[in-house]
Amino acid sequence: MFLSLEVSGLAILIAVILGIPFGVFLGLHRFPGRNLIVTLVNTGMGFPPVVVGLFVFLLLARSGPLGSFNLLYTPWAMIIAQIIIALPLVVGVTMAGIQSIEEKLKYQILALGASGFQYLLKLLKEGQLIILSALAAGFGSIISEVGAVMMVGGNIKGQTRVLTTAIVLETRQGEYSLAIALGLILLLIALLLNLLFTYLQQRRLS
Amino acid sequence: MNPLMQLKNIEVVLEKRKILEIETLDINCGEILTILGPTGSGKSTILKLLAFLIKPQQGEIFWQGQQVHFPAPLSVRRLISMTFQEPLPFQGTVFENVAYGLRIRGVKGKELKRKVEEALELLGIEHLKNHSARRISGGEAQRMALARALVFHPLLLLLDEPLASLDPLTKDKLKPELYRILKQIGMTCVYVTHDQEEAYFFSDRIAVLDQGKILQVGNKERVFFKPSNAKVAKFVGTENLIPAVVCSQENNLVSLKAGDKTLEAIAPFPPGKKVIACIRPEEITLKKDGVALERVSARNQLPGTITSLDSFGPVTKATLDCGFTLKVLITRRSVFDLNLKPGDFVVATFKATAVHVFSEDEGGANDQL
């Protein structure tokens, strides 16, 4: 259970660190090729995780381009796969969040004397409701994901077995009660996290 | 003394369309300069330019005599503040909104609290400080936006139609208060509006803008009562623009032929000159024909027929046919007292000094008075 949280937590953290600045950039600037990137991001948001798994598998497999790092069947492989799944979601929603801020509000922030950096911080703060929901959605999608982590992690006991892959295994072995218990834990985690995000969102609203 | 800010030979082009073309515009220390013009004339663009939010394609901007290059240094930008037509509240409380300009300038703790409270008090909204800024009324939100713009004591305040989105009652209350505040703190202010009354009320000087060009800039009395051309005259509410020809001149008193009527006015034009005579509708009084005319100092007495009476509550606008159309503003009381009805025969009287005359081919003259 903790491995699930660690892997998905680290993956969402990295996805946020990479995705939010990129999303802000896409949300604010117009440049040639932007439409292509936005299309790719939007496609990525609906990408089947199992295909991402296959892609990461091929990349990390011993004969693959990154094979020499020996990352396949380690938690890192799962983290990489989850980052790739969550990243377009974080980028896309951040971009939408920034774009949804009224043009005049952007001018207003600058007209009160904000520096470039203070301006970006304020935009994130104003768009935070949408960005928080991006985080919730991103985290929810990767912690409950099974196909990709199974492929690249290998479901090795004590190393890469996470809640979802354990549920699959126990169900196949006929250990239904254990599978149900694990399923309940996963649900509980999802529920608690969503409660937290909802609390954060609503606190901002009131 | 140098003007606080100067625009020179400015051109702003957006999507291949010339939005703004300004030869020169000065903003003097301590004055309220109003930019008056219809929607789409480029008023807001001037403000964005003055706030260094957009870059002109051509031209120079001077701040306290020094040319400012783009991107404008933060130290200059932070001396200027701007509000928009909508209050544009940020998330959070009214206090936090007003505090923003101070926080980004590194003001903290007690000083921050004191300054924010001062600004809230100035605008009369100290009781709202813990309210969510997005849950207060339109008038309150506009006060908050003004407090937020004034809290860090800018040298130049840019106001983009600050009263336009308010209902008439709220507007009537905030209008004199805002004027008092601006004058009390001696703020240099550029005030953008499409409302001529607001322009007259707030301004020391007025710049009339149309299609990105300044048609006239000067002292408000001059712009309102001595407009330099027909367009300006229309913007400032001079509804009577009568084409005429000068037929005689004696000293400065001229007789003008307009249709089959003769007008007398004060103007320096020689006989034969084609001119336009403008008369503000409130400068004209009506007398019912048949009522004995006392000896009045008004040199102009034009008979005519009332074609329509449009009541605007306290005042009524009468349209007269005197051979040309003449609009007259009269009080509700006079309509009753004179028992005026459409079709009535009346005499419109006004002084020679009430007639402002400019030559028909007058371009956009700039008088920096």
Nearest chain B alpha carbon to A110:
B53
Q: Which residues constitute the domain of residue B318?
A: 235-359
| pLDDT score at B362 | 62
Cβ contact A111–B51 (<8 Å): yes
For residues B204 and B252, state if they share a domain.
Answer: no
For residues B226 and B242, state if they share a domain.
Answer: no
Residue B262 bridge partners (DSSP): B257
| pLDDT score at B159 | 97
The total number of structural domains in chain B stands at: 2
For residues B25 and B74, state if they share a domain.
Answer: yes
In chain A, where are the structural domains located? 2-161
A68 touches chain B (CB under 8 A): no
For residues B68 and B173, state if they share a domain.
Answer: yes
For residues B199 and B317, state if they share a domain.
Answer: no
Contacts of A126 in chain B (CB under 8 A): 90-91
A121 touches chain B (CB under 8 A): no
Domain boundary among B171, B200, B234: B234
* ipTM score over 0.85, yes or no: no
Domain boundary among B207, B234, B261: B234
The shortest C-alpha distance from A116 to chain B (Å) reads 9
| pLDDT score at B369 | 39
| CATH number (domain holding residue B304) | 2.40.50.100
Which segments within chain B are labelled E, that is strand? 5-14, 17-27, 32-36, 58-63, 66-68, 80-83, 156-160, 188-193, 205-210, 213-219, 240-250, 253-258, 261-266, 274-279, 285-288, 300-311, 315-321, 325-331, 345-350, 355-359
Residue B148 has its nearest CB partner, among A112, A118, A206, at: A112
| pLDDT score at B365 | 43
In a domain, B19, yes or no: yes
The shortest C-alpha distance from A111 to chain B (Å) reads 6
| CATH number (domain holding residue B132) | 3.40.50.300
For residues B194 and B289, state if they share a domain.
Answer: no
| pLDDT score at B359 | 86
Mean pLDDT (10-residue bins), chain B, 369 residues: 91 91 95 94 94 95 94 95 95 95 96 96 94 93 96 96 91 94 95 94 95 94 90 88 92 89 90 92 84 65 92 91 92 90 92 89 47
| pLDDT score at B294 | 57
Q: Which residue has the tokens 């505040």?
A: B181
For residues B113 and B241, state if they share a domain.
Answer: no
Cβ contact B158–A111 (<8 Å): yes
| pLDDT score at B289 | 66
Where chain A has pLDDT below 70, the residues are 1, 204-206
Nearest chain B alpha carbon to A114:
B104
Beta-carbon contacts of residue B197 (< 8 Å; ≥ 6 apart):
none
CATH topology for the A2-161 domain = MetI-like fold (1.10.3720)
| pLDDT score at B361 | 72
Cβ contact B91–A204 (<8 Å): yes
Contacts of B104 in chain A (CB under 8 A): 112-115, 118
For residues B219 and B250, state if they share a domain.
Answer: no
A180 touches chain B (CB under 8 A): no
| pLDDT score at B87 | 94
Task: Kindly report, residue by residue over A159-189, the tens digit of the pLDDT.
Answer: 889 999 999 999 999 999 999 999 999 999 8
Cβ contact B51–A204 (<8 Å): no
For residues B163 and B58, state if they share a domain.
Answer: yes
Interface of B with A (CB under 8 A): 48, 51, 53, 74, 77-78, 80-84, 86, 88, 90-91, 100-101, 104-105, 132, 148-149, 152, 158
Measured distance CA(A138)–CA(A89) in Å, rounded: 6
Domain boundary among B181, B213, B234: B234
For residues B258 and B204, state if they share a domain.
Answer: no
Cβ contact B82–A108 (<8 Å): yes
For residue B327, which amino acid is it? Answer: K
For residues B230 and B240, state if they share a domain.
Answer: no
For residues B216 and B254, state if they share a domain.
Answer: no
